[in-house]
Chains A and B, each alone.
Chain A
């Protein structure tokens, strides 16, 4: 799975988060920060991770989420890493 394909999938997930300004989703890159750039509430980060599991058919470890950074590239890396692990 290509990284851009994962980013596009993440944007689809982010579109379902009503607290995120949809305008900001037009320019999401690997460097976009969920918290600083998208103002994603911390409560939503776990929901986004849970939805990413479903969308990309992976299962994250609790510790993976503890160590997860707040940039898009961090979750892209985690998805790729998890797919390789599984």
Chain B
């Protein structure tokens, strides 16, 4: 059955990652051909042995899960008209490349952040996204906030001044490959 977008779908249904490696809580905004906004709040285990700070490499992983993996899975599901479970049986997501990443700030346990991804390329099950990570103001209702979000605001990263820019990412590239090819 075709879907309109990922809103209302739990990330664990979409992604193959197990509970300790899933760095994605919820989808808040999604226009399939354009991009996505999704959030995560680091847990104690995510900052363990790293002086209480969510690692930069995990920020990239969280961004990739929120953008290229989620959007790629959605697009392939639509194309094959199957379930996410079926996709998980056939494919595995792999990193192909990461362009430039600039870190501007840090995240601690309990800091909710949003990954904002803009799709720049999708073909042959390979997706490329540019985007940003922002720390979210404490207590903000993200679903309510992004209900009024628009394509124009996504393109321009138009958020309130109380969001803190944490990272800028370019050319984050991933591909779904068949498990049989591993």
Q: Which residues of B contact A50 (CB under 8 A)?
A: 123-124
CB atoms of B97 and A41 under 8 A apart: yes
We find that the number of chain A residues with CB closer than 8 angstroms to chain B is 11
Give A47's nearest chain B residue, CB to CB. Answer: B121
Give A53's nearest chain B residue, CB to CB. Answer: B123
Kindly state the separation between the CA atoms of A65 and B126 in the bound complex, as whole angstroms: 11
CB atoms of B124 and A46 under 8 A apart: yes
CB atoms of B125 and A62 under 8 A apart: yes
Give B175's nearest chain A residue, CB to CB. Answer: A46
Expressed in whole angstroms, the minimum distance between the Cβ of B91 and any Cβ of chain A is 10
Assess whether A43 is interfacial by the CB under 8 Å rule. Answer: yes
Partner of A46, one of B123, B178, B181: B123
CB atoms of A43 and B173 under 8 A apart: yes
Partner of A42, one of B96, B124, B171, B178: B96
Kindly state the separation between the CA atoms of A43 and B170 in the bound complex, as whole angstroms: 14
CB atoms of B173 and A66 under 8 A apart: no
8 Å CB interface, B126-182 against A: 126, 171, 173, 175, 177-178, 181
Expressed in whole angstroms, the minimum distance between the Cβ of B119 and any Cβ of chain A is 14
Q: Which residues of A contact B125 (CB under 8 A)?
A: 62, 65-66
Partner of A43, one of B96, B123, B178: B96
Kindly state the separation between the CA atoms of A43 and B96 in the bound complex, as whole angstroms: 6
Q: Mark B48-73, 1 if CB is under 8 A from A, else 0.
A: 00000000000000000000000000
Q: Which residues of B contact A60 (CB under 8 A)?
A: 124
With contacts A66-B177, A66-B178, A66-B181 known, is A43 near B97, CB below 8 A?
yes
Kindly state the separation between the CA atoms of A33 and B119 in the bound complex, as whole angstroms: 30
Expressed in whole angstroms, the minimum distance between the Cβ of A18 and any Cβ of chain B is 14
**Additional A-B contact list (18), CB under 8 Å, known A43-B171, A49-B123, A49-B124:** A41-B97, A42-B96, A42-B97, A43-B97, A43-B173, A46-B126, A47-B121, A50-B123, A50-B124, A60-B124, A62-B124, A62-B125, A65-B124, A66-B124, A66-B125, A66-B177, A66-B178, A66-B181
Chain A residues at the B interface, C-beta cutoff of 8 Å: 41-43, 46-47, 49-50, 60, 62, 65-66
